[in-house]
């Protein structure tokens, strides 16, 4: 099957302050069936304009969300590359979330990969099996990996910085903030609500250089407006002990595409410490088999994602 790029055109600005909302026109595939949507068109790639809180200031940048289904081997927790191993694999929805932003003279590059099972008649797994996260800046880099083992996550952390690594820890397999994104795309009605235990997102823990562990949180899912594709929902997680609030907005009808998010917490240290809100709003998206578009002529496609320099 020849894949065709399908673009989302942003007609008007979607406010990140969340006080006003505007209509967005879509050209995503119109399939309402999960399998048809995710298996016939390649990967869904979305660019977001980013305002990142760091060092007590807001820094401009961009974020990219790449959602794609894969065959995953649950025992060794890697993608199945060979036909001979495919029989042992299960379907997962993978998210690659990338952030790029500058802080003065130097830049940050961050990426996380989240592997969440897609429930089928044969298997009813829904806990995320693996999360891997990297952070690079001019000082050095950090690597985190979560692997689900029975009733806990084994977390390996390696870092240039003494405060962060190197170490291996285990934490109970409570809810992961990192899996909110994939659970929204699979079945948002199953998002945890009320008073919960949750492991804060790996981007947050590595930027704040805090120990990884479960935290008490309060989660809420509300409909905030009617509109394109039937309305918009907002999922909010508040961590009282961290004085932090994360909110994600998405269309509340399939395919539950993510529109924006905000993340409020203290940034910086000492006299430079301030409560800042990191914001991201969707600007571009394509649905394409990007792994087959790696030639020089395909550089033109980056313009469709707002990534051309």
Domain spans of the chain, in order of start: 6-305
Q: For residue range 65-99, what is the model confidence (pLDDT) as tens digits?
A: 999 999 999 999 999 998 888 889 999 999 999 99
Q: Is the pLDDT of residue 25 over 50?
A: no
Contact present, 67 and 185 (Cβ < 8 Å): yes
Burial of 136 (0-12, 13-18, 19+ CB in 10 A): middle
Q: How far apart are CA 44 and CA 67, in angstroms?
A: 5
- Residue by residue, DSSP assigns 230-274 as G-EEEEEEEEGGGTEEEEEEEESSTT--EEEEEEEEEESSGGG-E
Q: For residue range 200-230, what is the model confidence (pLDDT) as tens digits?
A: 999 999 999 999 999 999 999 999 876 555 6
Smallest CA-to-CA distance from 225 within 217, 234, 237 is with 234
Least reliable range by pLDDT among 78-82, 120-124, 175-179: 120-124
- DSSP class of residue 117 equals E
How far lies 255's CA from each of 32, 38, 74, 84, in Å?
Answer: 7, 9, 25, 32
Q: Which residue's structure tokens are 């050209």?
A: 27
Whole-number average pLDDT of the chain: 87
* pTM metric for this prediction: 0.88
Q: Does residue 263 or residue 272 have the better pLDDT?
A: 263
Q: Is the pLDDT of residue 33 over 90?
A: no
């Amino acid at each position: 099957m020849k894949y065709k790029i399908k673009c989302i055109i942003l007609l008007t600005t979607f406010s990140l302050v969340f006080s006003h909302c505007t209509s967005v026109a879509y050209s995503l595939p119109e399939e309402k069936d999960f399998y048809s949507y995710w298996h016939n068109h390649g990967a869904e790639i979305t660019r977001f304009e980013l305002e990142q809180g760091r060092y007590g200031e807001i820094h401009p940048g961009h974020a990219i969300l790449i959602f794609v289904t894969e065959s995953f081997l649950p025992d060794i927790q890697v993608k199945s590359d060979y036909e001979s191993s495919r029989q042992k694999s299960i379907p997962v929805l993978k998210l690659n979330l990338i952030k790029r932003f500058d802080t003065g003279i130097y830049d940050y590059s961050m990426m996380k990969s989240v592997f969440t099972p897609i429930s089928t008649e044969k298997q009813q797994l829904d806990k995320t099996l693996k999360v891997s996260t990297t952070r690079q800046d001019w000082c050095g880099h950090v690597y985190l990996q979560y692997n689900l083992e029975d009733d806990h996550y084994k977390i390996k952390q390696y870092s240039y910085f003494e405060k962060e690594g190197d170490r291996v820890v285990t934490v109970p397999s409570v809810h992961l903030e990192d899996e909110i994104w994939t659970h929204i795309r699979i079945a948002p009605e199953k998002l945890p609500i009320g008073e919960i235990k949750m492991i804060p997102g790996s981007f947050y823990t590595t930027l704040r250089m805090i120990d990884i562990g479960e935290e008490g949180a309060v989660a809420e899912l509300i409909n905030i407006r009617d509109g394109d594709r039937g309305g918009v929902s907002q999922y909010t997680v508040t961590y009282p002990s961290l004085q932090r609030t994360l909110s994600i907005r998405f269309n509340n009808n399939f395919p539950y595409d993510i529109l924006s998010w905000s993340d409020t917490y203290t940034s910086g240290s000492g006299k430079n410490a301030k409560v800042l809100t990191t914001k991201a709003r969707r600007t571009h998206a394509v649905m394409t088999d990007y792994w087959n578009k790696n030639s020089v002529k395909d550089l033109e496609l980056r313009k469709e994602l707002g990534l051309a320099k």
